[in-house]
Structure 1
Amino acid sequence: MIWKDLSLESSLQSLLIDEENSINKLYAYAGELACHDPKKAQKLLERVLGYAKDHHLLRSEATILTILGYLCIDNGNYIKGIEYHARASSLFEELKDTEGVLKTCNGLMYMYFCLGMYDSSMDWATKGLNLAEETNNKKYLQILLTNIAQNYLMLKQYDEAKQVISSLKGIECEQSSVYDVVFQQIMAEIYLIENNLKMAGYAINQAIRLARHHNYERLLIECYVTHGKIKYALGQMNQVNALYEEIFKLTQKEEYIEVQMNALIDFGKMEVELGRNLEAETSLLQAYQIAEKLMMPIPFVQVSDCLIDLYKKQNKFETALHFLELKIEFEKQLETRKSELWAAKLKHEKSVSEAKLYKELCEEIFLISNIGRVLTSNLTYNELLKKMADELSNLMEVTILGLSEYEEESGQLNYLLFNSSGDSVDHGVISCDSQTSLGVYCIKNECTILMHDVLNEYTNYIPKKDRFKIIREGVQSVMMCPLLLNNKVKGFITVQSYQKSAYTNNDLNKLNLLASYVAVAFENAKLYRQTHYLATHDSLTGLLTRIEVFKKGQELYKQLDASNTLCVLMLDVDYFKKINDQYGHQVGDQVLVEMGNLLKNKVSQNITIGRYGGEEFLIFLNGYSEPECVLFANQLREDIAQLKVMINDEKTLNITASFGGYQFNKKEITLDKGIYYADSALYQSKHNGRNLVTFYA
């Protein structure tokens, strides 16, 4: 056989004699070779590509670029793979080779998907499906639909995956053994989701048998991963461990790095469920490093979320916050990488219309990036809305910008409206039962809204306008898009103008594109604030943690000068050990909760309070002199004495606290020294009978 049995020089000569026959045989041989020795396949193809270019063999060049693109999928180099396939697609179209175009459509669909560029992925999928139907190419119709189903599975859109698979049943044609393996593996995954473990086992065993028979090493490893998940669902942990041990041994090769990453994620999730947190952390951190290297959005987000949840469960909130910040930064880097990819496409196609499109895209990417930064920054909601309006105005007319957040538990929409003409922010709440709210209509129907003339068009959506709320008086043009994340509504975004016909369908498409990014950024910001709070606040009392209150104190101490004063108070709940011993730790915890509730009400711009440890609390009073601090401490001491903690339905417990204070004068050298003096004064209060305030002299 050419390429396999003949020498390389003889095989290259055959390209000049019968190019079509020879290159088709190379495609088949290189595809088989890549399944078990990708490096050898790569070396062969690069040699033949040079030969094809030297002899102006366009069909050969396009075919080799296609195979090289598929090899890039194996090693996770999607940017390079897209470059190969884009060049190949142009050559195939020039040659009017529809099957060649279909091959590149399939590859480009998958690689854009892996980079998180779902719109581009769907564009190539649609192009491929239309071409396959027009030319009655059942083979590639099957391949494209199968890969679309695989993409849906990765997105956890299981109903859509099953719908695509069921549509394949009506298409009958002979396929390659590679396709048969992939199809059986997908069926095993779908059966697993449906909890039909018997059929899942049957399908994956079929796939494994075929992969072994044809020596498809990569596909075999992927099948082992699916098999491991099935065995885990069956509770056969010994077999699970043996399978994953084999998987990790086989994936040491660089070209199987993506398969290794997916296996580590799945195995890490299993270990989390089994409570093996240390082992789970090790697996997930390895997967994280690979996902970060490959810049693959879906697995990166998956493993980041797993690590964040794992650390939160272990109360390692600072570590959870760290990974959340890295996840947000990754998404920003991904936008930059997408922009570079579009630039490469522009350079390749060299068209004026593409230049215009690229310019617009860059503006949108820049805007999206800015909005992401705004949403994850430490701003009030009013400041956030103003900044977003300012950024959006670079792309469209923005008189009023509205943003809402849907609260599923309460069934309400909380909204903010920013009016750029008056620089004012309005806010309110809408019940999701409302029949006269455009916002409710938008999120319930998960649809976009574009109105050129509000007064004449609103009845297309709602029966009457007496409770618009989010549409300001005088507004004539409105656009509204739902904020969707993982098929869940998070709220909506609206842009409004006092002019009629202010917006076009193109503007609506831009807003809808932005809405998807805003939904992600909005959710990230919400998660960031939650995780940041957990990392900086004591879970029992809701006050600052020891580390955080010390940080705040350090900042105040650095600002201290002759024009300012700063005091510190240490307070300790009296007889707390006795309370725990006599009534139990549950009552002791309740004492600390009540203390936390009282102390949180004392926090102000000049008063910083944190839990120092156990039953001890630390308070910094900025701008307070010693007499003012003593007055504050005595008032707080009396308030604490009024607290009543329930022991049972019939009995309550009164508590008291002892205080020690100190006024800083910069002679202490360090903040710690001042806290030490306050603690010494606290000891005197305890020694002198408790429930007292003592200042260090």
Structure 2
Amino acid sequence: MNSKFKYENELNKLIECEENFAFFINLAKESVRTAPEAFKEVFDNVLEFAKANNLNISKGWSYYYLGWYFFDLSKYDEAIENFLLSHDVFDTHECKKGVIYSCNGLTNIYCQIGQFMLANEWGLKGIYLAEEIGEKEELVILLINIGINYIQMKDYYKSKEILNSIKMLNHELTKRQIVACKLCLAEIEINIGNPAIALVYLDEVSKMDDELTVDTSDAFKLKGMAYVKINEYEMAKKEFVKSYDFSNLQGYTYEKCCALIEWAKLSYLIKRQHEAINVLKEVADIAKSSKFIIILKDTFHLLYEMYKELGNHKKSLRYLEEYISIDDQIYDYEQNQLMAKMNINHTKREANLYKLLYDKTELLSSIGQKIISNLDLNSIINIINKEIYKLIKTDIFGIAVYDTTMEEVAFNFVRGNSDLIETIPFNINDESSFGAYCLKNKADIIIGDVEQEYSKYVSSDYVNHNDSKFEKSRIYTTLIIKGRVVGVMTAQSYMENTYDTNDLNTLKIIANYSAIAIDNAMSYKKIEDIATYDNMTGFLTRFEIIRLGEIIYEKHRNKHNSFCVIMIDIDNFKSINDSYGHVYGDRALNKVTSSISQCIRTTDYIGRYGGDEFLLICPGADQKEAIEVAERIRNTICNNSYVIDDEVTVNITLSLGVYEFGKNDMSFIDGVKMADKYLYNAKKGSKNKVVSKLKSKHTKN
């Protein structure tokens, strides 16, 4: 039966008074999750009826509840569209309560898809209106959701302050709201190192939560996380299984993914690495299809870290790039959405509660997204320097990156709003260095007058300055990731008493973003190097030598320069492996490639093309010059005896094919194929020779 006719009486009551929409609100609360398709049919018909009869408030509520329908189906674009339509209708017709609810819907969905700045913007607008019209119930809901948003941002202390501020409202919370607050506080305590307190909150929830809801799944997961923190791994696993099973049974896909991620972390912790990776890959598949972008981002980062620790650098690099790509998507989406007209009142108020929420969130989030997506240290420094003056008074900004294998560290300073970077080294054991003090003590510093306060941190060797441009005020904070110090950051001013704890906290937030970015940059560089160079020979990988060859080929073709390639193969290398084993074979390969390296020109490039086959690129060399290089290599190898063990010495020869590119060549690979053809001709004969188009054979020694 069509719901339009089923609820005809209730629809007609809307014409009499739109406050009768309360019937449909109660219906929505009962059926949005239990009978979603029936719910959709009802509200589609209500929306149609409201449009036909110019019932604008009913139209706004219809859009609002349809937004939640699409939210539960992970159809986030449709959900956002409906919440925005709801907001515009309520705003146009001055229904402030409706505006508050639509703001809450947008806060939830933007938090879900990682748009934390947008979530806060809409949340703040809703809070402002709720306070203005005295709607404490809606104010509580918005504060809880913004608290959740800050948990997602991993700003746990700010979230805790927001949630604790709810007590100041003197408003009686519903049981559902109390459960939500306790779950949030439990998650905060777990993440700031107080799992015992978290378990108290969770026990209180278990006594209250007599309804099977999403909160039930979340409580199981959080209890598992708390048990992990106190090393009760078997107990933790049981809780993660409960969370997964319950979420799976109820069809809570998002919560199921969250349980799986924590389960994977536990599996990795107890050395079941491959199980953990397989679970995360399953999560990634679900997250992609369901568009859970934050879960997908976190999953890619975990896979990157796990593969990096396992030494699988190729896969680690792949997932790091996936992670950065997702981060870029989040940032790009945010910038596009901010261009939309949102009509948000940005008036700052002095009340501490709201000051918490306004505290530089927008700019910090924007800077953070730029920093974390960057993989170059100089770029990171310049990004911060160009934006930091909007947050902190800064005449000089600097970062020092700490390599634990070296005692010397270098501060990279930028003076003023400039791209110029000044590098000033200091020793980690230097007792006259503020940077060394911070690194060794993992300490933060606020200095109002450096000449009066330096002795608190550094020795009397510190040099006083009479220059009026001397940096009198300074704040320092360490860059720490996973308990490991990776550097120190400072902001400095020529004026005295410039900085306070708020400035230091702002610098610490930027430092947190920077620590992740610097760690990623260093890991990316290391992995990129490993991915670029073959571990056994030190030569370029097949992928890299071909990529490089294609670049050189384009230059050769444009400038008509001479350009040759040489294919090199070790003769009868299989017999070495068969006779002595692969360990000795690897040693022989290493010694031969070391000899080859000494024979090539400084302008040449060499890569490992296959197992015992190599590709040498000779830019600027014609065929005659390339043959001379090839002969030099062949002679060096065949005239050497290679000791690979006390009792094992082998003699090795090479076959080589030389090809010079001509104007009719269509691609770099075409030339490689020709060199390979000449190599085949060399090996088909007596081997240990060079073959080219110029001479089909060259004399062997």
- Whether 1:678 and 2:678 are equivalent positions in the alignment is no
Q: Match for 2:164 among 111, 118, 129?
A: 129
Q: Deviations over 1:585-635 (max 9, x none)?
A: 111122233345555677887321100111111111112234443444444
Give the deviation of 1:289 after TM superposition: 0.8
CA distance in 1, matches of 2:300, 2:321: 14
Partner of 2:222: 186
Give the whole-Å Cα distance in 1 for the aligned partners of 2:8 and 2:461. Answer: 77
Is 1:417 the equivalent of 2:412? yes
Q: Work out the CA distance in 2 between the residues paired with 1:345 and 1:509.
A: 31
Specify which of 485, 488, 491 is matched with residue 492 of structure 1. 488
Which letter does structure 1 place at the counterpart of 2:57?
Answer: G
| 2:588 paired with 1:591 | yes
- Residue type at the aligned position of 2:660: Q
2:145 counterpart letter in structure 1: G
Distance 1:633 1:141, change over 3 A: same
Amino acid at match of 1:404: A
How far the C-alpha of 1:417 sits from its partner, in A, is: 2.6
Could you tell which deviates more after superposition, 357-366 or 434-443? 357-366
Letter in 2 for 1:190: A
Kept in 1: contact 2:563–2:620 (CA 8 A): yes
**Closer/same/farther in 2, CA of residues 102 and 316 from structure 1, 3 Å limit:** same
2: CA distance between counterparts of 1:331 and 1:198? 34
- Are residues 1:160 and 2:160 paired? no
Instruction: State the alpha-carbon separation in 2 of the partners of residues 563 and 58 from structure 1.
Output: 73
Q: What displacement does 1:543 show?
A: 1.9
SS at 2:459 equivalent: coil
After TM superposition, the structure 1 = structure 2 runs for residues 208-247 of structure 1, keeping only pairs within 5 Å, are 226-227=241-242, 243=245
- More displaced stretch, 663-672 vs 277-286: 277-286
C-alpha contact 2:57 2:95 (8 A) present in aligned 1: no
Partner of 1:659, secondary structure, is: strand
User: In 2, are the aligned partners of 1:102 and 1:128 still within 8 Å (CA)?
Assistant: no
Tell me which residue corresponds to 2:285.
286
Deviations 1:245-302 (Å, cap 9, x if unpaired)?
x965753xxxx442343356568776994857996586244134157x2332x55222
For the residues of structure 1 that align with 2:643 and 2:606, how far apart are their CA atoms?
Answer: 25
Higher mean alpha-carbon deviation, 539-548 vs 687-696, is at 687-696
Task: Map 1:250-399; keep pairs closer than 5 Å.
Answer: 251=251, 256-262=252-258, 265=261, 273=272, 275=274, 283-290=282-289, 293-296=291-294, 299-306=296-303, 309=306, 317=314, 321-337=317-333, 347-351=343-347, 367-368=367-368, 370-372=370-372, 375-376=374-375
CA distance in 1, matches of 2:504, 2:114: 34
1:105/1:125 contact within 8 Å kept: no
Cα deviation 1:178-206 (Å, max 9, x = unaligned)? 6677546533543355454776688x5xx
Specify the SS of the correspondent of 2:609: strand
**Pairing 1:10-159 to 2, within 5 Å after superposition:** 36-37=34-35, 50=57, 61=98, 86=124, 88-96=126-134, 98=136, 100-114=138-152, 116=153, 118-119=154-155, 123=158, 125-132=160-167, 135=170, 143-150=180-187, 157=191, 159=193
Counterpart of 1:515 in structure 2 is: 511
Quote the residue 1:439 is aligned against: 435
Deviation per CA, 1:544-569: give whole Å up to 9, x if none.
22232122112212211565221222
Secondary structure of 1:159's counterpart equals coil
Which runs of 5 or more residues in structure 1 are unaligned? 1-5, 205-224, 230-242
Q: Is the 8 A contact 2:549 2:617 kept in 1?
A: yes
Q: 1:123 to 1:340 in 2, by over 3 A?
A: farther
Q: Secondary structure at the match of 1:349?
A: coil
Q: Against the structure 1 CA distance between its residues 496 and 675, is the aligned structure 2 distance closer, same or farther, given a 3 Å change threshold?
A: same
Q: Which residue of 1 aligns with 2:544?
A: 548
How far is 1:648 from its partner? 3.3
Quick one: which of 603, 618, 622 aligns to 1:621?
618
* Alpha-carbon separation, structure 2, partners of 1:467 and 1:288: 57
**Contact residue 237 and residue 263 of structure 2 kept, 8 A:** no
TM-score (norm 1): 0.71
Partner of 2:403: 407
Pair 93,360 (structure 1): closer, same or farther in 2 beyond 3 Å: closer
CA contact (8 A) 1:31 1:67 kept: no
Query: What amino acid maps onto 1:132 in structure 2?
Result: K
What is the distance in 2 between the residues matched to 1:348 and 1:384?
31
CA distance in 1 between partners of 2:686 and 2:463 (Å): 64
- In the TM superposition, residue 671 of structure 1 has moved relative to its aligned partner by 3.0
Q: Distance in 1 between matches of 2:243 and 2:643?
A: 52
Greater shift in the superposed pair: 565-574 or 601-610 = 601-610
CA distance in 2, matches of 1:74, 1:557: 49
Equivalent in 443, 454, 459 of residue 458 of structure 1:
454
Of 419, 423, 428, which residue of structure 2 is paired with 1:426? Answer: 423
Q: What CA distance in whole angstroms lies between the structure 1 residues aligned with 2:553 and 2:637?
A: 28
Moved more, 88-97 or 304-313: 304-313
- Give the letter for the 1:36 counterpart: T
Distance 1:169 1:279, change over 3 A: closer
Instruction: Determine the C-alpha separation between the residues in 2 that align with 1:335 and 1:158.
Output: 27
TM-aligned CA distance change 1:671 to 1:149, over 3 Å: same
**CA 1:162/1:599 → structure 2, altered by over 3 Å: closer, same or farther?**
farther
Alpha-carbon separation, structure 2, partners of 1:558 and 1:284: 43
Task: Spell out, residue by residue over 1:79-104, the C-alpha distance to the aligned partner (whole angstroms, 9 max, x if none).
Answer: 89767755553444234454543332
Give 1:126 deviation, angstroms. 1.4
Whichever residue aligns with residue 625 of structure 1, its letter is: D
1:108 partner amino acid = I
1:480 corresponds in structure 2 to 476
CA distance in 2, matches of 1:173, 1:276: 34
What are the equivalent positions in structure 2 for 1:535-574 lying under 5 Å apart?
A: 535-560=531-556, 564-574=561-571
Match of 2:82 in 1: none
Deviation at 1:673, TM superposition (A): 4.1
- Deviation, 1:312, is 9.9
Residue of structure 2 in register with 1:215 after alignment: none
d(CA) in 2 for partners of 1:283 and 1:539? 31
Alpha carbons of 1:39 and 1:75: their partners in 2 closer, same or farther (altered >3 Å)? farther
Task: Check 1:44–1:436 CA distance in 2 against 1; reply closer, same or farther (3 A cut).
Answer: farther
Count, aligned residues? 630
